[in-house]
Amino acid sequence: MRIDLASASPIVRPMRWFALFLLLASSALSAVPAELEAALKTFRGDPPRGWSYTQTTSAEGKSTVERYDAARPEFDRWKLLQKDGRPPTETELHEYADARSRRSRTGTAPKLVEQLNLPTLEKISDDAERTTFRSKLRPGESRDHTAPFLRATLVLHKATQTIESVELGSVSEFAPTFGVKIASLRTLMTYSLPAADRPALPQKVETRIRGRAFLVKSLDGEMTVVYSDYRHVGPAGR
């Protein structure tokens, strides 16, 4: 029996397009190697819930050392330990507590996995221990004008099926907003390998940007965030 799709009913025509959609979707998924697909399912940019840690941020000659205590109540988990290499003043502690109370939760890192444009995934290197992939990014929101100019490079550790590093780098100059020109942007995020008593954990985030605003103001800058002194205090994320 032959069905003439050109003269098919309004019910059959949507079914044809739905079948085409399923075919394209399955093709995109099949392009992702199984070991990378498994790693992406467990990947998270932030430290997992249930883990306490120290966060040291350095940028433009300034630094802060903070402690996140996962065992404390939600709005009392962050503590400022040092500011610019010295103990913080009472005023600085008050300002810090006020600012942190408005953004106390972890899990604020961009959802990189959701932005990976997996049909564009390509393998750029491979050896016995690691495979490196590169992918374009999807816009994170409708007003995201940055994603088309960035590429994500992921290093997969084969034995543990975990992501060992993620690099976001620009491929050309771009203007994320009016009057701003970014000549180059690079962020490198590195992670420890999982062990018997802990999952993969963030180790360092390094960001370097070169650009100008309205042709006169320099936007050049570098920032480093180091995570250390991890301690597991709860069942989540282990």
Which residue type, as a one-letter code, is found at position 101? S
Are 118 and 166 members of one domain?
yes
Q: If you ran DSSP here, which 8-state letter would residue 220 be given? A: -
Are 129 and 163 members of one domain?
yes
- CA-closest candidate to residue 136, choices 124, 119, 123: 119
Q: Scan for tokens 């006169």, then name that residue.
A: 216
Are 166 and 98 members of one domain?
yes
- The reported pLDDT for the residue numbered 91 is 97
* Domain assignment of residue 90, given as a range: 33-238
Q: Which residues of the chain have pLDDT under 50?
A: 1-29, 106-109, 237-238
* Cβ atoms within 10 Å, residue 135: 20
Are 131 and 14 members of one domain?
no
Within 8 A by CB and 6+ apart from 147, the residues are 115, 136, 137, 138, 139, 140
Are 112 and 204 members of one domain?
yes
Are 97 and 110 members of one domain?
yes
- The reported pLDDT for the residue numbered 102 is 74
Task: Count how many domains the chain has.
Answer: 2
Are 43 and 140 members of one domain?
yes
* Total-model pTM: 0.81
Long-range contacts of 189-192 (CB under 8 A, 24+ apart): 189/45, 189/165, 190/164, 190/165, 191/162, 191/163, 191/164, 191/165
Question: What gap in Å lies between CA 205 and CA 190, rounded to an integer?
Answer: 7
Are 10 and 82 members of one domain?
no
Are 126 and 138 members of one domain?
yes
- The reported pLDDT for the residue numbered 110 is 54
